[in-house]
Amino acid sequence: MLSMLMTTEYAPAEERHELQQSLLRVAGGDRDALAELYRRTRPAVYGLALSYLRNAHDAQDLTQDVYVQVWDCAEQYRPTGSPMGWLLAVCRSLCLMRLRREERHAALSEEEWDAIPAQECGLDTDERVLLQHALASLGDEERRIVLLHAVTGMKHREIAALLELPLPTVLSKYHRALKKMRSCLEGDDAR
């Protein structure tokens, strides 16, 4: 799975085509296609949800909501658009709705970045530090950009379009974020 994710950027056409086919089959009511789509894209959807909701548990819940939503409105997807972009746009819109709803209930207290789920699944030291401490050192947008870039293999301009940010902003935030993460990691190493 990891290798597939990492090669996404170098073989986008095939990946895109396959996702497209899955989405079209989901639109036709094919449950196996939904399962396949879920298996292929869940880290990306979860990563984006996590970057918005800041909490592993909420992000896991929302990830499930995204696929239920996709099942209900896959017909809306047009084969001219990027399938990953569409999926993540659904995810983003659900995240924003949820945040708005919560905002209405109560002014949020300063929430902690809490990215490690209760049942964690064999993270090594670097992964732990990255997921919890390094990401916590980033601003919201920096975190979103880095996660999207690392997990989805999306290009910076695609990230810019999804997050409705100018491309130069995405690039500078991306580089700043990597710098911060590195210093967090190396600080940890030095200890």
Partner 1 sequence: MTNEKMEQRLASAVEKTAPNDVNGVLSRCDERKGTVIPMTTKKTTKKRWTTLAAACLAVMLLGGGGIFYQQAHAVASVVSLDVNPSIELKVSKSEKVLVCTPLNEDAKAILADMGDGADLKGAKLDVAVNAIVGSLVRNGYLDSISSAIMISVEDKDTARAEKLQRELTSAVDGVLQTCEAKAAVLTQTLTQDATREQQARENNISTGKAALVNRVLAINPALKFDALAKLSVEELKDLAEAGAPAMPIGKDAAAYAAEQYAGTAALDSVTAEVDSELDEFPAHYEVELHTTWGEFEYLVDAYTGKVLSGQKDLLTTAPVGDETAKPTVPTGDIGHAKAKSIALNHAGVSENKAYDMEIELDDEDGTLVYEVEFKSGGMEYSYEINAATGAILKHEAEIDD
Instruction: Report which of 112, 149, 146 is spatially closest to residue 132, judged by C-alpha positions.
Output: 112
Q: At what angle do helices 140-147 and 31-53 cross, to 10 degrees?
A: 150
Mask of contacts with partner 1, 169-188, x by CB under 8 A? ---------x--xx--xx--
User: Using the rule CB under 8 A, is 86 a contact of partner 1?
Assistant: yes
User: Using the rule CB under 8 A, is 102 a contact of partner 1?
Assistant: no
User: Using the rule CB under 8 A, is 53 a contact of partner 1?
Assistant: no
User: Using the rule CB under 8 A, is 85 a contact of partner 1?
Assistant: yes
User: What SS3 class is residue 123?
Assistant: coil
Tokens of 39: 């298996």
Rounded to whole angstroms, how far apart are CA atoms 116 and 130? 11
Give the chain's length.
191
């964690």: which residue's tokens?
Answer: 120
Residues that bind partner 1 (CB under 8 A): 1-2, 5-6, 29, 31, 34-35, 38-39, 42-43, 45-47, 50, 56, 60, 63-64, 67-69, 71-73, 75-76, 78, 80-82, 85-86, 89-90, 93-94, 97, 104, 115-117, 120-123, 126-128, 130-131, 134-135, 146-147, 149-151, 157-158, 161, 164, 178, 181-182, 185-186
